[in-house]
């Protein structure tokens, strides 16, 4: 279910997807 939402966001807004990935990586580092 979470994956479905993730894919939906990925399809709807490609830039937003990368934005969250970028924040996620920055939080780890």
pLDDT score for 16: 74
Domain count, the chain: 1
Q: What is the mean pLDDT of the chain?
A: 78
pLDDT score for 1: 64
pLDDT for residue 7 is more than 70: yes
Q: Would you list the DSSP string of 1-29?
A: -HHHHHHHHHHH-HHHHHHHHHHHHHHH-
**Residues 2-25: what's their mean pLDDT?**
78
Range of the domain at 8: 1-29
How far apart (Å, rounded) are the C-alpha atoms in residues 15 and 1? 22
**Residues 6-17: what's their mean pLDDT?**
73
Instruction: Quote the crossing angle between the two packed helices 2-12 and 14-28, to the nearest 10°.
Output: 120
Which pTM was predicted? 0.39
């Amino acid at each position: 279910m979470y994956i479905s939402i993730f894919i939906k966001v990925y399809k709807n807004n490609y830039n937003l997807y990368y934005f969250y990935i970028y924040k996620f990586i920055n939080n780890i580092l």
